[in-house]
Amino acid sequence: MLSKTRFGFDLRATGRSETAAVASGVKVKRMVLLSMVISGGAAGLVGMPLLFGQDYAYGDTVQSGLGFAGIAEPASGAQGPQALASATLIWCSALAASPGGERLGTGGGWYDRALAYADPAATVGVLVSDAEVTDALPAATWDRRVDLVVTPTRTLWCGEPGGERTPE
């Protein structure tokens, strides 16, 4: 659909170069909004089985913090991972994290490769639910520890003494 339709061309042109998209007649603001709506809807549909559970019914057993599972690893970007070189705050996707700063990614490896370009002084954080914070996780030599683990009920500053803060 993205490589053989006008919509796909407009979407790819908008992502690659706003100037080129405008020159080819694409309404860039509309395309950005439309892509956000479509991706948000797709993310909501993907999360429905997790929300509804085995019975496929909305009940009183809904787990809190489910929205934190929604940061996906980028497939690519107009600027690529080199754009992280100038970032001061980087949010990564994670399936789990530890108070020591280990992060279990989604298996694609995009952030692990891209964080090599990041400024060492940049703050790297993850958003997870409380149930996804575990005491320790395995880490490889190429893994970059995160500085911040944020859950719906607390913020963990990894590597600092007394590094837990609870929202007031």
pLDDT for 71-95, tens place per residue? 555 555 556 677 777 788 888 878 8
- CA nearest 117: which of 148, 143, 83? 83
- CA nearest 94: which of 159, 162, 148? 148
Residues of the chain with CATH 3.40.50.10420: 64-168
- pLDDT top residue among 50 and 29: 29
- CA nearest 146: which of 159, 133, 164? 159
Fold type of domain 64-168: Rossmann fold (3.40.50)
